[in-house]
Structures are given as structure tokens and as C-alpha cells.
Amino acid sequence: MSTKIELAEDTERDSKTSRTASHSIIADLISLRTWLLQNDVSATTAWRWRRDGKLKTVNINGRAYLTREARVEFLARAVSGEFAQEPVVPKREEVVSR
């Protein structure tokens, strides 16, 4: 009888632990679309950043999500100047005389 009680307690503890672990994983995810809206970034820019390896996403059922770690890493890399480039200033076209 005590073995059944111990087994039931172990099962209950394991299910609570797995619920907590899965909850924290889900809580750390944000959809790419939501992140784009919050940060005023276009979908095209996000596609380029993903292609270039600047932004790491997780694919779940065909939808892109960002983990907390990916967001922190992206921000740290951006703040450190890793993505910095010289600004491109268009040159004035010379007027062609007739």
C-alpha cells in the first residue's frame, strides 16, 4: 500500500514540475509578429535579419517565435555596435545642361 502512495506522490510531483517547466518556456516565447509590432520593425527587415543570422527564431507549427535569450542576445549585439554601419547619404545628382 505504501508503494502505491509513494508512486502517486512521485507522479503528482513530476506533473507539477513539468507544468512549471512548460509554463516558463511558453512564458519566455513571444511571436515574431508581436515583437515586430512592439518594436516598429517591418516584416521585410525581420526577414533580412533572420536570413543574415542577426535574429534567431524558433519555428513552432510554421510560426516564428523569439525566445527571451534570442531577444536579449539581439539587443546586446545591437548595443555593442555589431550591426553598425556608416549612414548612406544619397548624393545630389548633377543637373545636366541642355
Percent of the chain scored above 70 by pLDDT? 69
Give me the pLDDT at residue 91, please. Answer: 82
**Cβ(32)–Cβ(65) below 8 Å:** yes
Question: Residue 49: CB partners within 8 Å, gap ≥ 6?
Answer: 55
**Cβ(74)–Cβ(55) below 8 Å:** yes
pLDDT in tens, 32-55: 999 999 999 999 999 999 999 999
Percent of the chain scored above 90 by pLDDT? 54
